[in-house]
Structure 1
Amino acid sequence: MDPRTSAQDIMRCDLCETAVVQMHCDTCLVNLCTACVGKHMISDESKDHKVVKFQSRKSTPIYPGCKYHDKERSEMYCNQCDIPACVYCITSDQHQGHKILPLMQVCKEKKEKVIEERNELNETIYPTFQDIAFDLQNRMSQLETEYGDLSTAITKHGEDWHREIDKLVKKLKAEVDEMKNTQLQTLQKHLDEINKTMSNIKDEIESLEIVTVTNDMSKLLSVESNLYTYRDLPKKNMPSVPKFISEKIEVDDFSKLFGSLSSDKHGYSMKTTQKSPEAGSPPPVKQLLDEPETVTTIDTGFGVLNNVACLSDEEIWTSGHDSTMKLYSINQGSLHKSITTKSGNWPDDIAVTKSGDLVYTDTSDRTVNIVKNEKIKEVIRLQKWKPRGVCSTSSGDLLVIMDSDGYKQTKVVRYSGSTEKQTIQFDEKGQPLYSSGQYNRYITENGNLDICLSDGKANTVVVVNQAGKLRFRYTGHTPAPKNQPFNPRGITTDSQSHILTVDYINDCVHIIDKDGQFVRYIDHGLYYPWGLCIDTNDNLFVAHTKNDTEVIIKIEYMHIK
């Protein structure tokens, strides 16, 4: 095996090419064995050879040579002249009275500044541009669909107009036909009367012709003409045809009548956008408060408090590392009810259904259970999968996050009762939507029916539409309150289709809009927040630690209109 080309061979001395490398010259960047060190030192006595152990190579500072004093190293730095200088330069008149610093100190400060700038580029600016690029790519794919929908809407509106115009034309033509038939019948009747009169006149003429040639005096004296009757002409009956008076429509007026395109004008800004109302009857628009306000604090007594779920505006369910799930009064802070899990395990997640029943997942028991009238009923039992996060949808379905045995796969399954209706696991390219592993993941449904999942391992909020197609991923916003990586836990949505998720490490709540754009933080004295939920009035409830006690705080963060 050739030692110069084999990647499997150990490193050899650059001089003898046989002995194993033990030393390194930081000045010449040469690898040496112990026997060749002396030979290398005398090979070029003009250099100040810095020979160190091979493991400590490249640790010796390399000072620049002085351009005014040959063979001298510039170990100092003149702050006024902004140049390195050797000892002889520093003592010369050229730098008299100048501020002189050790070059090592200057380079150390410079390196710290470079590291700081590199960190800002790496941790803040580059990820932000990554977010922008991802948003743009995501938006480009959305535009294809949305512009297709827009063209379809315009075509449909045109078809609606065509149908209405066709109906109007048909109606007017029917009226024309009816008017024509009526007038023709009237004229025909009048014509029949004229023809009858003309026949009578002809008979009258023939009768008078006979009298004019007779010599019978008595006939002549007895004849009576109806001339005066026929001199009284009938009333003229010539109905006129109605005119069609068309309204002249200018092009601009027609565009206004038919409809026009309107678009929101946005200046580009990082992670902010205006929320557009949903189709149908949108909820009243609410504005965020300038300063959120803590209204209520509830001491739960849990050792570890993970999950909260509003039963109503007066009561809230809680669970943690305890087999007991507790229902508290929000206003009084008193305990109303306790339910112990069927297996004695603590619940991984809880939710409240549309009908007000409590749902919880039991990971160790592989079950999803529902509590009705304080009685626990198993609704789902899994094989080879373990249920984790759960939520109840607006349609009454359950969305369940589950991990495979061995935690190699993660998916979301929609259930109607105990019947599996939908599985969401991969994107359009066949790649997993969610990270795998034994980590915290929570789920909720947004007002636009998007499915929002907080992925604690990937430090990401993954949002798919109702069909399971990826809409966007949210990876946090910088700068964060504590400048730590985004670490989402509990997740919920409000009436404005905002997505809210706690950031466990940065002690805050992120609010993003339905399209994944950052809106603001709620950083309101939170400490290791975990679970959160929203009541019907858009009050936010967050479980966190206060003075070594697990509490729930109620936060008003939105104007109520």
Structure 2
Amino acid sequence: MDPRTSAQDVMRCDLCETAVVQMHCDTCLVNLCKACIGEHMISDQTKKHEIVTFQSRKSTLLYPRCKVHADNSCEFHCKECDIPICSACIVSKKHKDHDVQLLKDILAKKKAAIQIEINELDESIYPTYQDIASDVQNTMSQLEKEYGDLSIAITKHGEDWHREIDKLVKKLKAEVDEMKNKDYEILKAHLSNVQTCTSKINEDINSLHEILDSTDISKVLKFPLDSKRYRMLPSKLNITMAKFSPFSVQERSSEAFGKIISPTISSDNHGYSIRAVQGSLLGDENSTLQNKRTEAGSSPPVKQLLDEPETVTIINTGYGYLYNVACLSDEEIWTSGLDSTMNLYSINQGSLLKSITIKSGNKPSGIAVTKSGDLVYTDYDDRAVNIVKNEKIEEVIRLQNWRPWGVCSTSSGDLLVIMYSDDYKQTKVVRYSGSTEKQTIQFDDKGKPLYLSGGDYYRYITENRNLDICVSDGGARVVVVVNQAGKLRFRYTGHTPAPKNKSFSPRGITTDSQSHTLTADVNNECVHIIDQDGQFLRYIDCGLSEPKGLCTDTNDNLLVAQYRNKQVRKIKYQN
């Protein structure tokens, strides 16, 4: 066997390729035997060859050459000029009285910073991404099991029915498979993104190790440190599994067989947190640096509620009684009252800009403004939901056996409509995309009605930034909040003591950028502010008179429609 090509042979000289390596040129990174040192030294006399033992290789710092004094190496750094300089530069007039540092000291600090990057990526961020990947994989496994159980439940329930409903059973199972595949693909794509980031982190760790081992000062100093791009962790996908809700076998309709409660996937920006590093390999100073980096990525402060809300302006309207207000912009509002006209007012000027008369001659029950700026209104007596485009009224939804009341336009462009059955025994919320019904929200998980039937018709609806659906149920004296899938989150029944010590009587409802829910209390002539979980925060009671409709503009100013005095009051209530 040729000793030069044997995998078990010792390292050979790079010049003669025969003798065993004994020395190393740290300048050229060449392995040498003692006999070849002279030949290597004269091969390139422009360099200062640093010959060391092979065991001491890479121990010599390779200083950059001076651009002014070509024969000198730059062992210093001028802070004022921000360039490496040699000893001859120091005594020159150009750098006189300048602050000079040793390059090796700067190098030591940079390598210490590199070591912090390695520690954070290797011990904290990389393991965190591994944990996230494991969490997503576990959710995918649970998803498979849950949907399997769901299919079994549907099949078992279907066996109790006659053969004529087999088609319905297959239809529902197909919906389950479609939901499962959709959810699985979402999680699969999410996992792929996490694994891609994990792979990139590993590559960065390897690159940092390589640069950490480098003796090339210029290369080390120019190497970018960019682990902060990984500190913004992926959102955690929270999946609410689909459920099968069976009805009694004695029922004889497709609706009685049961229905699939649609699953939900929401994105939680705070679902994961970077794993804490246990101790520091580089001492307290470097631990402090890591802490400062963590603080830099903290969330910005939220808006603060004012101790004393203040009225900014008042707009007088000409209605007999004022019911509703909806923001077209920060400068204009739509209003409606106890007649068949809907009026557009300038907030700052208080002047009437435009009037739209309902074609049926009825009064609008609820009004809202869509994302595209069109006015939508419900006509209770005509059983219709209409939209105003270019001052022309178009019918969007025509109901049978139901009558619409409150309406809102969602962030996705859908319409949410509160409606009552003709016999006043049922109340529900229906989501529409155009004229297509997409979702019905009527019962809780125990099959009990979410909203009071009949009685007081005053019910308003809105959507918050978390996509929760908020309804003020005047008849039940409660605010009902469900999530996007229609699952009950909480009920708010008021707070004591109230400004006038009367019972809670909610009317208009709106939300702001902080996901606060604001609802008008006509009995106590105030507005309640609650947080996204239903906790009372404070009242707004700055001289309000019978508040009904509410809306907020893009700057979180509150607009209040006041019932008998026919005024819209603009209120600033937070910074």
Q: Give the TM-score, by structure 1 length.
A: 0.52
Question: Deviation of residue 543 (structure 1)?
Answer: 1.2
AA partner of residue 442 (structure 1): Y
1:337 to 339, 344, 354: 354
Letter paired with 1:552: V
Change (3 A) 1:369 1:284: farther
Q: Secondary structure at the match of 2:569?
A: strand
Cα 1:344–1:284 shift into 2, 3 Å: farther
**Counterpart mapping for 1:516-531 below 5 A:** 516-531=534-549
1:252 to 266, 279, 282: 279
- Which amino acid letter does the alignment assign opposite residue 572 of structure 2? E
Correspondences of 1:141-540 after superposition (within 5 Å): 152=135, 163=199, 251-253=278-280, 285-438=302-455, 439-540=457-558
Q: Secondary structure at the match of 2:279?
A: helix
Change (3 A) 1:526 1:464: same
In 2, the alpha carbon distance for the partners of 1:501 and 1:364 equals: 26
Task: Tell whether the 8 Å contact from 1:452 to 1:464 is kept in structure 2 after alignment.
Answer: yes
Q: Which moved more, 1:280-289 or 1:441-450?
A: 280-289
Return the letter of the residue paired with 1:493.
Answer: T
Inter-CA distance 389–158: structure 2 relative to 1 (3 Å threshold): closer
What are the superposed Cα offsets for residues 509-529 of structure 1, whole Å, 9 maximum, x if unpaired? 000011101010001111211
CA distance in 1, matches of 2:450, 2:383: 22
Q: For 1:156-196, what per-residue CA distance to the aligned partner results, in whole angstroms no more than 9, with x for missing partners? A: 7997786457667999999xxxxxxxxxxxxxxxxxxxxxx
Q: How many residues are matched? A: 316
The structure-2 alpha-carbon separation of the partners of 1:283 and 1:549, relative to structure 1 and needing over 3 Å to count, comes to farther
1:323/1:347 contact within 8 Å kept = yes
**CA contact 2:132–2:194 (8 Å) conserved in 1:** no
Counterpart of 2:125 in structure 1 is none
Q: Which amino acid aligns with 2:278?
A: V
Once the two structures are TM-superposed, the CA of residue 251 in structure 1 deviates from its matched residue by 3.4
Q: How far off its partner does 1:401 sit?
A: 0.5
Q: What is the CA–CA distance in structure 1 between the aligned matches of 2:512 and 2:208, rounded to whole Å?
A: 52
Cα pair distance change 1:504/1:154, threshold 3 Å: farther
* 1:335–1:151 distance in 2 versus 1, CA, 3 Å: farther
1:531 counterpart SS class: strand
CA contact (8 A) 1:283 1:496 kept: no
Asked if the contact 2:133/2:194 (under 8 Å) is kept, the reply is no
CA distance in 2, matches of 1:168, 1:555: 52
Helix, strand or coil at the partner of 2:547? coil
Compared CA separation, residues 162 and 394, structure 1 to 2 (3 A): closer
Return the letter of the residue paired with 2:529. I
The CA deviation at 1:149 is 10
Post-superposition Cα deviations, 1:65-124, rounded to whole Å, max 9, x if no partner, equal xxxxxxxxxxxxxxxxxxxxxxxxxxxxxxxxxxxxxxxxxxxxxxxxxxxxxxxxxxxx
Q: Which amino acid aligns with 2:401?
A: K
Offset, 1:289:
1.4
Change (3 A) 1:292 1:442: same
**Mapping 1:15-164, distance limit 5 Å:** 152=135, 163=199
Asked if the contact 2:551/2:558 (under 8 Å) is kept, the reply is yes
Contact 2:133–2:195 (CA under 8 A) maintained in structure 1? no
Say which SS state the counterpart of residue 496 (structure 2) adopts.
Answer: coil
The one-character-per-residue Cα deviations of 1:36-79 (angstroms, maximum 9, x if unpaired) are: xxxxxxxxxxxxxxxxxxxxxxxxxxxxxxxxxxxxxxxxxxxx
Distance 2:461 2:194 in 1: 41
Preserved CA contact (<8 Å) 1:301 1:549: no
1:549 paired residue number: 565
Match of 1:237 in 2: none
Distance 1:165 1:300, change over 3 A: closer
Cα distance in structure 2, aligned partners of 1:169 and 1:326: 63
Task: Report the Cα offset of residue 370 of structure 1.
Answer: 0.2
Q: Give me the whole-angstrom Cα distance separating, in 1, the residues matched to 2:469 and 2:311.
A: 29
Cα distance change, pair 253–408 in 1 and its aligned pair in 2 (3 A): farther
1:531 and 1:442 mapped to 2: Cα distance?
8
The secondary structure found in structure 2 opposite 1:252 is coil
Aligned mates of 2:298, 2:345 — CA distance in 1: 33
Q: Deviations over 1:10-57 (max 9, x none)?
A: xxxxxxxxxxxxxxxxxxxxxxxxxxxxxxxxxxxxxxxxxxxxxxxx
Shift of 1:287: 1.2
Distance 1:168 1:314, change over 3 A: closer
User: Counterpart of 1:532 in structure 2: which amino acid?
Assistant: L
Change in Cα spacing, 1:520 to 1:376, as seen in structure 2 (3 Å) is: same
C-alpha distance in structure 2 between counterparts of 1:377 and 1:409, whole Å: 27
- Structure 1 CA distance, aligned partners of 2:516 and 2:326? 17
For the 8 Å contact 2:366–2:407, the answer to whether it is kept is yes
- Secondary structure of the 2:548 match is coil
- Find the aligned partners of 1:535 and 1:555 in 2 and give their Cα distance: 11
Alignment partner of 1:497: what SS? Answer: coil
Instruction: State the one-letter code of the partner of 1:541.
Output: L
CA separation in 2, counterparts of 1:372 and 1:450?
28
| Structure 1 pair 163–453 and aligned structure 2 pair: CA distance change class (3 A) | same
User: Is contact 1:486-1:503 (8 Å) kept?
Assistant: yes
Shift in alpha-carbon separation, 1:173–1:433, aligned structure 2, 3 A: same
3-state SS in 2 of match to 1:286: coil
User: Residues 535, 394 of structure 1: CA spacing in aligned structure 2 closer, same or farther, 3 A cutoff?
Assistant: same
| Shift in alpha-carbon separation, 1:302–1:169, aligned structure 2, 3 A | closer
Letter of the 1:252 partner, please give it. G
Gap change, CA 1:488 and 1:281, over 3 Å in 2:
farther
- TM-score normalized by structure 2? 0.51
Shift of 1:405: 1.1
Identity level (%) = 70
Measured in 1, the distance between the counterparts of 2:484 and 2:516 equals 17
What is the Cα deviation at residue 549 of structure 1? 2.8
Distance, in Å, in 1 between the alignment partners of 2:487 and 2:135 is 21
Quote the offset at 1:496 in angstroms: 1.0
Determine if contact 1:460/1:488 at 8 Å carries over to the other structure. yes
2:526 corresponds to which letter in structure 1?
Answer: C
Check whether the contact 2:414–2:433 (CA below 8 A) recurs between aligned residues: yes
CA distance in 2, matches of 1:150, 1:518: 38
Secondary structure in 2 aligned to 1:426? coil
